[in-house]
Structure 1
C-alpha cells in the first residue's frame, strides 16, 4: 500500500484576532475517502491549505504515516506525496494537454526531450481512468474534461494523498459518479488516500468511507459513513442539538400552490444570443414561465446559460427572437423593470449587480433612488435611502458595520443578502435568478431558497438557472436542460430522472432518448 495515513493533532490557525481553525484533530485512514463537510467559513479551506503548505499552523501538528512533518510550502507537500485539485481551474488554456501535464512537475529542463516525454505521457494515459487527447488545448475542452485534466495532472505526479476541493461542481451526475467512483476504487486498492471537500450529502453517503464535520473552525464530529445519517451530519453543520432533524426540516415548509390556469408571465420565443468570441451561444431558445411557478434551467457550465440570463436582464444584446412580460414586448429597460415589477438576482452580485465602492445604503437604493420618497424635485434624499436601508438590513439579517460601509467590505453571503433585499422589496412579478447560492454557507442557502419560494408562492414567476442539479430538483416545478446553447429536454420536476437529465446535460440526447424508450 502506497496510500498515506494522515493525522492532524490540535491543529490551530489564527488570522489576527480571528481563529479560523481551533484545535482540529482528524484522522484519514490510508486507502480511504475522507469527506469534509461544513459551511463556508467553517475552516475546511484553512485546514487543507495547512496540509499543502499554504498556511503555517500556529499550534498543533500534522502527522504522515505516524511521523510529524513540517509542511512549509506546496513544494514540500508535493515532495511528501500530497497533491490537491482546486475548485477553480489552474490549467493553462493555450497549452496542450501534454504540456499542462508536464508543467505540473515544476522544474523542467531547458530543452524538453519530447520523444521520450511523449512516450511517457502516452504510457501514463493508457493507465488512467480518463482519456484525453494529448494534443487538445483546454480552451477547446468542456468543463468536465477540464476537471478531468486537473485530476490527471495530480495523478501524473503519483500522489499518496489527494485533496479534492468541490471536484464535481462542473460535472454532470454521470461524470461526477464516474470521477469519484474511479478515485474511490484507486483509494480502496491502496494507491492513494483521498480528502473530499463537498457540500453534497449524496456524494458523502455514496462515495466516502469516513466524514468529518467542521463548524466555525471547530471539529463537530468524525464518523464512519455507514454509521451516520445525513440528518445527523446536517445537524452538526448547523450546530443543532441531537441528530434527528432532517435537512429539509431546517427551513420553513415550502408549500406548493400550483394553478393549472395560471397566466404566462414570461415568454421567450426563438431567442438567439452571440457569445464573447462572436459565435452563437444561445440558439432558438423558447420557453414560458407562469405565475406561481419556478422553471429551472439545468446545464453544465458553458452551455449558454450565462449568455441567456445576460440577454434577459439587458446585459447582452439579443441577436434574434423576442421576450414578453405579461404580454408586453420586453426590452429590459429600467422603466419596464419598474412598471412590470421585474427583478433579477445574478451570479457574482458584487461584480454584476453592485458598485463596490458605494455604500450598502446606496446599493440597496439603486432600484428606487429616483422614486418618491427617496427622490423629491429631482434630488436624491440620502437620509431616506439610509433609513430604508437600515430597515432592510435588519429584516434580511445583513451583517455590516453600518449602512454607510462600502458594500465591497461585506462577505459574499451578505452581499447576496443585500442584493436580495433590494430586488425583493415590494411586489415581484418576474424574478430572474442565476446560481443564487454559489459559494454561500448552509444557513444562507436555506434562507435564500425560502425567499425565492416565497416569491413563487405569492404568484411570481421565477426563472432559476443553476449548475447544482440538487438545487433545481428541490425548488423547481418544471425543468429544462440546455446543451450547446439549445434546450434539449423539458419535464416536470416531480417526474424528473436524475440520470436522464444528466445524459442530456452531457449532450447525449440520442442516448438518453433511447434509454428512456427502453425503460418504457
Structure 2
C-alpha cells in the first residue's frame, strides 16, 4: 500500500507541531523519520493513526483520500501503530491485550484464538512471550514485544513503529530489524521513528528529517551518523563523549554480598560485591532482566535486600528510608520514566520537584509557593533545553524525550553525593544525549560517584571509567572502560572476561577472512551482472 501525507498541519493552541508536511512511503519501503524530541514526529503519526485530526492537509492510501475519525478507522484501512508509550492494560494477560478492541459478536472473548496468535507470532519472530502472562509482571522489553505482536496480528499494510527499540536490548533490536526487513520484503510499508542513528543506517531505505515541525530534507541511509545528527538538530553534534581521565578518590559506595530474592524465590541479585569511588563512573552492562533493575531499586530503597550491606561514605544505606536517601544527596533516574519517573497528570513544574516538595527553596511550613515553583521550573527548563509550551502544562503533553529531560533536570539539578541513572537517555535524541552525557561527566568531575545502568553498550562504553557486567544476578567481572564492545557482548552472555577476550580475538580473525571472501564474491557478481546486463541486487538484501 502506498501512503501519502500532503500538507499536514497540526497545532495545539499557539504551538504548531506540524507545518505543511509532505511524506510519501512506497509499498515495501522502510521509511525512517528522524528529528529531535518535540520535532513533531509522533504528532504526525498520531494524525495518520486517527488519534488527532489535521488542521490542514490530507492522507491518501493508494492515491485515494481517506479520513480517519479514530484509530479504529485507521486499523480497518490497514494501518497499525506501535506507540512510544505502551497502550497496554497492566492487569490484562497478553492474550487479553491482543483481544482488546477485537471482540466478537458474542458475550465471550475467544481467548484461545488470541493465545494461538500470540504463540504463532512469538515463535515466528523469537519473542518468547507467554500468552497467559500478566502485562504488569513482564519486564519493559517484553511489554514492548507485546505491543509489536498486537500490531502484527492486525495484518497491517502500513506499520508505524514509534521508537520501538527504546526499551529493547541490542540483541532484541537486531531481531526487530530482521522482522522489519521480513515485513518489508512481503510488501508491508513501514514508518520507523527512532533516535538511534545506527539503526536508521542499518535498515532504512529512505530518511525524512523533521525539525521544529517542518520537513528540512531527505537523507541518504549511507550518510554518516555525524551527518544525520547535524541534519536533525541543525548543528554539528559530538558523537563521542569528551572527558578527561577520571581521578577517583576514596570508595564512596560500597556494596557487599548483596542478594535480592523475589516472592516466588527467584534470585535476582546474587551476592554482588561492587565499589564505586568518588569521581568515577561505574557502568553496569547486561541484557535486561539480569538483576540490574533490582540492584538500582535496592540502592534507592524501593526494593528490599535479603542479604548484604550497602554503605555510602561509611553510612549504612539499608537502614534509611527512600526519603532519607534522597535528602542525603542521592539522585535517581528510574528505568521507566512513565511509571516511576513522572506523574502524568501533574504539571511540568510539579514534576520537577516531586522528590523535594519540602525543600525550603520551594516551600514554607509545608506549603509550596506557586511563584517559587514556577521560577524553579523556568530555570530548569532553560538549563536543560526542555521543549514545552508552559511550565504549568501537564507533563503528559511532552514528547518522551522531553519528559526524560524533566527527570534528569530534577535529579541532577541539586548537590549530589551519589547519582544512580538507569537507562538515562532512553528515547532521547542525539542532541539531548550529548547534553545529558556532558552533565553526567561534569557530575563525575565534581567528585560525585556515578552508577550508570544501560542496555546500550555504546552509552556504557562512552561514559564508564570501569564496567561491571551482570548475568543472571551475578557480576561476571569488572573491566576497564575501554574494553572492546564484542568482549562485553560475550560477557553479557555469561562468558568470563579472559575467555571472552580470547573468543573475540578468534572471531575477529574469522570475520576479516570472511569479509575478504565476500569482497571477492561481490566483485565477481558485479562483473557477471555487467556482462549479462542483469539488475543489481536489492540493497536491503545485501545489508
Scaled by the length of structure 2, what TM-score is found?
Answer: 0.76
Alignment match, 1:493: 481
Q: What is the CA-CA distance between 1:421 and the residue it aligns to?
A: 5.3
Alignment match, 1:152: 149
Q: What is the CA-CA distance between 1:365 and the residue it aligns to?
A: 10
Give the conservation status (yes or no) of the 8 Å contact 1:297–1:479: yes
Taking a change above 3 Å as real, the CA distance of residues 135 and 11 of structure 1, as seen in their structure-2 partners, is closer
Matched, 1:181 2:178: yes
Q: Deviations over 1:220-269 (max 9, x none)?
A: 1123313x3322221122123xxxx35437xxx7222234x743221111
Taking a change above 3 Å as real, the CA distance of residues 53 and 400 of structure 1, as seen in their structure-2 partners, is closer
Alignment match, 1:220: 216
RMSD: 4.5
Q: What is the CA-CA distance between 1:169 and the residue it aligns to?
A: 2.3
Q: What is the CA-CA distance between 1:430 and the residue it aligns to?
A: 2.8
Alignment match, 1:194: 190
Distance 1:145 1:203 in 2: 20
Distance 1:401 1:52 in 2: 24
Taking a change above 3 Å as real, the CA distance of residues 81 and 258 of structure 1, as seen in their structure-2 partners, is same
Matched, 1:419 2:419: no
Give the conservation status (yes or no) of the 8 Å contact 1:349–1:416: no
- Stretch of structure 1 that moved more, 37-46 or 489-498: 489-498
Give the conservation status (yes or no) of the 8 Å contact 2:254–2:311: yes
Q: Deviations over 1:412-461 (max 9, x none)?
A: 3563364145424xxx4432223333444544433222111012123321
Alignment match, 1:464: 452
Matched, 1:363 2:360: no
Q: What is the CA-CA distance between 1:37 and the residue it aligns to?
A: 1.3
SS of the residue corresponding to residue 152 of structure 2 reads helix
What count of residue pairs does the alignment treat as equivalent? 496
SS of the residue corresponding to residue 443 of structure 2 reads helix
Write the mapping of 1:314-353 to structure 2, written as runs, cut at 5 A: 314-330=301-317, 331-332=319-320, 342-346=330-334, 348=337
Alignment match, 1:33: 30
Give the conservation status (yes or no) of the 8 Å contact 2:261–2:268: yes
Taking a change above 3 Å as real, the CA distance of residues 422 and 297 of structure 1, as seen in their structure-2 partners, is same
SS of the residue corresponding to residue 306 of structure 2 reads strand
Alignment match, 2:160: 163
Distance 1:421 1:89 in 2: 27
Q: Which residue of the other structure, out of 13, 16, 28, is the alignment partner of 1:16? A: 13
Matched, 1:87 2:84: yes
Unmatched 5+ stretches in structure 1: none
Matched, 1:310 2:307: no
Distance 1:109 1:501 in 2: 53
Distance 2:327 2:186 in 1: 61
Distance 1:403 1:56 in 2: 23
Alignment match, 2:227: 232
Q: What is the CA-CA distance between 1:276 and the residue it aligns to?
A: 7.7
Alignment match, 2:239: 248
